[in-house]
């Protein structure tokens, strides 16, 4: 594209300042809205994923292949502690811990509730799960903790017990024997996730092993990757390390928490429906403007054709004009969107009544949009593309022009 026609296109654009600005304004509006909401989406998804996975499940788990669908005592892995240790050494990653899980009836002096008891490696659990860090009263288990237990805050309230109190549990061991014990409450955690706070308790893996007659077996090895992008890669490496073990499955968090992934998908779908509508409306705006601009210049185009320009030259001019307009909308839209989003990513974004929503999805009560290259360019890029598509019709109309008739047009 030569300099002259670029200059021509630019000047043509400003022949109707108000019209051009209105069209660019529609782009700026949509683009900044898209930048903001895509950033907010990314930010909240990431937070949802992080908070949910960190709370408990971790990014990857090694499990018996049937455990995911049928979490029973007998679907276990042998030598769980040594396997976890081996993984830590081989992967040079400390965020790996073995776990065993059982069901029990927990009784305090005046209440009984059915709970999930989890045996964990105290030293490593704090590297996988956020629960050790969410102790509200007392402290988390120590490496040498034995008959001590950490319970959720709602469970503590329901059982009417507090730090230092004793709790009796009765369940059944791996060999169907009677599993029972008396443990002292050393910590109460509050994760904000009602299910965990209501029905989960953690003891040391060693104590769990003895009480539930596990004989070194366990139910999962939970792994937390350094960041969410590294998970798939890590999963492949782990699969390579353990591929000689029977009945073992390496589970990605998407399998462990299918609801999370799907909630995000459902939200994505509805969000994209809205984005597409916005983009279509902008495209209509561009179509309108460019068609008008072509129609009102019929006489001028006729003159240019009489001078020897081909319809293709003219339609290219229209496309260049649209590109300039789209480029302007893109840059200004990103700029406005960036400023708004960046500001909110610092001070946080809040709307009334959000707490209830936040609790349900493990989010903090203020949302922080995440500004990234993708969130900045994705929406505006599609808007610009849509604008160019919209200029096709006006541009092709030029092929139907006949110079003489065009010059006569008013």
Applying CB under 8 A, the residues found at the interface with another protein are 16, 18-19, 22-23, 25-26, 29-30, 33, 70, 72, 103-105, 109-116, 157-158, 160, 171-172, 199, 258-266, 269-270, 273-274, 277-278, 280-282, 284-285, 287-289, 291-292, 295-296, 351, 353, 356-357, 359-361
Nearer to another protein, 110 or 243 (CB): 110
Nearer to another protein, 210 or 255 (CB): 255
**Cα dist. 234→86, 90, 360 in Å?**
15, 12, 29
Q: Where are the beta strands (DSSP E) in 108-219?
A: 112-120, 135-138, 148-152, 166-172, 178-189, 200-204
Helix axes 311-347, 373-390, angle to 10 degrees: 150
Nearer to another protein, 280 or 306 (CB): 280
Q: Does residue 96 contact residue 203 with C-beta atoms inside 8 Å?
A: no
- Least separation in angstroms between CB 60 and another protein: 19
- Least separation in angstroms between CB 4 and another protein: 27
- Least separation in angstroms between CB 277 and another protein: 4
Nearer to another protein, 142 or 270 (CB): 270
**Cα dist. 4→1, 10, 191 in Å?**
8, 10, 65
Find how far residue 300's CA is from the centre of its chain: 53
- Least separation in angstroms between CB 378 and another protein: 18
The whole-angstrom separation of Cα 319 and Cα 316 is 5
- Least separation in angstroms between CB 154 and another protein: 9
- What are the residues facing 77 on neighbouring strands? 218
Nearer to another protein, 39 or 83 (CB): 39
SS3 state of residue 252: strand
**Cα dist. 63→15, 59, 171 in Å?**
69, 13, 22
Nearer to another protein, 52 or 130 (CB): 52
- Least separation in angstroms between CB 403 and another protein: 22
């Amino acid at each position: 594209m030569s300099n002259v026609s670029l200059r021509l296109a630019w000047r043509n654009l400003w022949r109707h300042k108000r019209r051009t600005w209105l069209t660019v304004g529609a782009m700026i509006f949509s683009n900044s809205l898209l930048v903001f909401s895509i950033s907010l989406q990314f930010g909240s998804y990431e937070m949802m994923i992080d908070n949910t996975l960190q709370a408990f499940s971790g990014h990857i788990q090694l499990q018996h292949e049937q455990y995911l669908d049928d979490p029973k005592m007998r679907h276990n892995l042998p030598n769980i502690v040594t396997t976890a240790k081996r993984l830590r050494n081989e992967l040079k990653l400390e965020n790996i811990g073995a776990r065993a899980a059982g069901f029990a009836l927990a009784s305090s002096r005046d209440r009984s509730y059915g709970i999930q008891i989890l045996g964990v490696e105290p030293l490593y659990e704090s590297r996988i799960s956020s629960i050790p860090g969410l102790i509200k009263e007392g402290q988390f288990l120590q490496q040498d903790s034995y008959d001590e237990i950490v319970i959720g805050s709602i469970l503590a309230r329901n059982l009417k017990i507090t730090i230092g109190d004793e709790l009796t549990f009765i369940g059944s061991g791996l060999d169907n024997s009677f599993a029972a014990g008396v443990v002292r409450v050393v910590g109460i955690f509050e994760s904000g996730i009602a299910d965990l706070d209501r029905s989960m308790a953690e003891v040391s893996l060693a104590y769990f092993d003895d009480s539930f007659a596990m004989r070194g077996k366990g139910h999962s090895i939970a792994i937390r990757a350094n960041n969410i992008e590294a998970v798939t890669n890590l999963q492949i490496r782990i699969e390579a390390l353990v591929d000689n073990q029977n009945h073992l499955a390496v589970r990605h968090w998407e399998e462990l928490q299918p609801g999370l992934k799907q909630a995000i998908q459902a939200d994505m779908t509805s969000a994209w429906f809205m984005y597409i509508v916005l983009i279509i409306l902008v495209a209509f705006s561009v179509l309108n403007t460019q068609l008008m601009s072509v129609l009102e210049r019929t006489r001028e185009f006729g003159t240019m054709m009489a001078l020897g320009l081909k319809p293709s030259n003219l339609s290219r001019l229209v496309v260049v004009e649209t590109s300039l307009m789209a480029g302007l909308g893109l840059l200004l839209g990103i700029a406005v969107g960036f400023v708004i989003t960046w500001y909110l990513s610092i001070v946080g974004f809040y709307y009334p009544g959000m707490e209830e929503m936040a609790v349900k999805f493990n989010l903090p009560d203020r949302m922080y949009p995440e500004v990234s290259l993708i969130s900045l360019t994705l929406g505006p890029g599609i808007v610009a593309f849509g604008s160019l598509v919209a200029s096709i019709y006006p541009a092709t109309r030029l092929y139907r022009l006949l110079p003489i008739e065009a010059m006569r047009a008013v």
